[in-house]
Structure 1
């Protein structure tokens, strides 16, 4: 009787190995016109990377961050979103991932003092430069939070990212 259980357990384990080797990411989107996903499901065995919150850079790449004295030097919310997602893209690519591997973003957005509120339209305009494009037809699960402020007075957005892909063979 014990041998039969051992054989069954061994057979189950043998079938489990190919499943891990074929790890995949399933994107769940009830409305294909929606800008973001409902969810992303990652099967066991997928390679994943979690990025810390990234902040935008000054519009002038030669300007050091500690020399920034005005919001104009950082740009509006759209400009800062593009800058921040460009940093996310560079980090991912340095680790063998691409923007099409991103499955989840968390956006922290401060009010633009020139508008007196969070510029959600600007966030989405910047977002559209990276997702649901010809280069990257994928989109992501996403949460956006308005925050009282970020680490510096000229930052309007900070973005955390999670990416997942089938393991390299």
Structure 2
């Protein structure tokens, strides 16, 4: 499988804001130290934020698209995309701790 065709797409479901976070019922994951919750129950009239379509930047912007290092390996791509997610969340007063669902698609 060639990484040149790898596409990482994220569909994220986020919940919580400082104004109504107290009404959220969070159930931690059964996996120790998991940054993602097992489930979340939101109060009526809650806001939900979706992020999608986030892709990694090329590791070497001058590299040919046919070269594997144009996008980096899967780990490098995931790190770039997760930093983008954190930045977007922070701009809305949220963190990865507010993530309810994280979906990643790898194609290649």
Please give the range of the TM-score, normalised by the shorter of the 2 chains. 0.5 to 0.7
| Structure 1 pair 54–95 and aligned structure 2 pair: CA distance change class (3 A) | same
Cα separation, partners in 2 of 1:37 and 1:101, compared to 1, 3 Å:
closer
Report the CA distance shift for 1:42/1:21 in structure 2 as closer, same or farther (over 3 A): closer
Kept in 2, the 8 Å contact 1:59–1:74? The answer is yes
Q: Who wins on radius of gyration, i.e. which is larger? A: 1
Instruction: Report the CA distance between 1:28 and its aligned residue.
Output: 4.2
TM-score (norm 1): 0.42
Matched, 1:46 2:46: yes
Tell me: CA distance 1:34–1:92, structure 2 relative to 1, closer, same or farther (3 Å).
Answer: closer
1:7-46 residue pairs with structure 2 within 5 A?
Answer: 22-29=22-29, 31-33=30-32, 35=34, 37-46=37-46
4+ aligned runs moved over 4 Å, structure 1 = 34-37
- Over aligned residues, Cα RMSD in angstroms? 2.9
- Tell me which protein shows more helix as a share of its residues: 1
1:32 and 1:21, CA in 2 relative to 1: closer, same or farther beyond 3 A?
Answer: closer
Who is 2:56 aligned against?
A: 56
Matched residues, number: 88
Counterparts of 1:102-141 in structure 2, within 5 Å, are 102-110=99-107
